[in-house]
Structure 1
């Protein structure tokens, strides 16, 4: 139902504007990240993210890959909900279909939100990442879906993972609640 309502709003035209409000908790962080979703840039990806958030499936998902000076990744709704076992986090997605790439001219700058994927550009599903700094080598390789409008201090405070793989040791930070906002 939520996905259908969102798609109707998306088809109604540019008056619709969506965002996410993410409540994050962890050992080193407790705060809120607000993201403006760019439905004019990546309408299919925004529709999927919004549908998943509206259904509550992002609630309780860990930040499973956090690389200092690069990005923080989350959104594995299949394997990312058990903070005590993140060994498979990053390998899963949702029950919804993968989304074809929607590349744009929006550069991967600090605070940009992009969709994570496998080697195939058309394999994005539920996982996304937030840039700590610019990463223009990702331009036209990954789909930009939004930008952080508030809470970059929360992103900056996320527990860092291994310097090469980004894998988190111990308890990862968690998206406790993910809410769709106007």
Structure 2
């Protein structure tokens, strides 16, 4: 289901304040919206994306601070997420999004998502996203207006783990990092098709942590701005029934766990 141009404009008006990613308490930035995304993309993209973003071949250095310490998924993995007793099977693509998929698998294995809530579900006026993954939402005492602002805090470092924006253009040998780009002129390998899973973030490109969203429709206007890292292969009917406040019973890696590479382990 692809948003047609008039529907897209209506969606922007209605959800102009919608955040695809909440900023953490350490970031003094407002969550981004599709409208803000379109504006920032226009100002950030000029010329070749290869000169604006860092490729994975550079990530062994500190050109992206902390990159070498992040988990990576080298290949594929499968996660089964259970919501209200019903399973959702998610195939994760570590070939085209190794850092983003690796981060998600690592957090699943740590139990970060178990018991968390979907704090933002938008279906009107057009199907949009079901967003969850805020660790704060495990605690029912946390006010609803704070949900969407939380991130994963690494118990070892006591600091928030952020991952860089990671998007692979078609024809590229490796993903690009750190910058958004205009996907209308350079298509992406992992587009926002109905049923994909992607990382939420604030206005800062490298601010994703634990929050994710399922795309409830084709959302091509988000391509080049948010990192898709997998897709629902079974149970999209369950995703379509998610209501705001519904909780994840559990999330488990059922295949491909051996493909996760965690530095120092």
TM tier relative to shorter chain:
0.7 to 0.9
Tell me how large the CA RMSD over aligned residues is: 1.7
Given the two structures, how large is their TM-score scaled by the length of structure 1? 0.80
C-alpha separation in 2, matches of 1:41 and 1:102: 9
1:157 counterpart residue number: 241
Instruction: Tell me which of 41, 51, 56 is aligned to 2:96.
Output: 41
Q: Which has the higher helix share?
A: 2
1:142 counterpart residue number: 226
Which 4+ residue blocks in structure 1 deviate beyond 2 angstroms? Answer: 82-87
Structure with larger Rg? 2
Given the two structures, how large is their TM-score scaled by the length of structure 2? 0.56
Alignment of 1:44-63 (within 5 A): 44-63=99-118
Alignment of 1:120-131 (within 5 A): 120-131=204-215
Q: Kindly indicate whether the alpha-carbon contact (under 8 Å) linking 1:62 and 1:83 is maintained by their aligned counterparts in 2.
A: no
Q: Kindly indicate whether the alpha-carbon contact (under 8 Å) linking 1:61 and 1:81 is maintained by their aligned counterparts in 2.
A: yes
2:162 counterpart residue number: 98
Q: Kindly indicate whether the alpha-carbon contact (under 8 Å) linking 1:41 and 1:144 is maintained by their aligned counterparts in 2.
A: no
Report Cα offsets for 1:129-182 as digits up to 9, x if no partner: 0011000010000001110001100011111xxxxxxxx4xxx10001010121
- Matched length: 156
1:72 counterpart residue number: 130
- Tell me by how many angstroms 1:41 deviates: 1.5
For structure 1, the residue ranges without an aligned partner over 5 or more in a row are 160-167
Matched residue SS, 2:239: helix
For structure 2, the residue ranges without an aligned partner over 5 or more in a row are 1-68, 155-160, 169-187, 256-265
C-alpha separation in 2, matches of 1:95 and 1:70: 28
C-alpha separation in 2, matches of 1:83 and 1:62: 9
- Tell me by how many angstroms 1:47 deviates: 1.2
Instruction: Tell me which of 242, 248, 265 is aligned to 1:175.
Output: 248
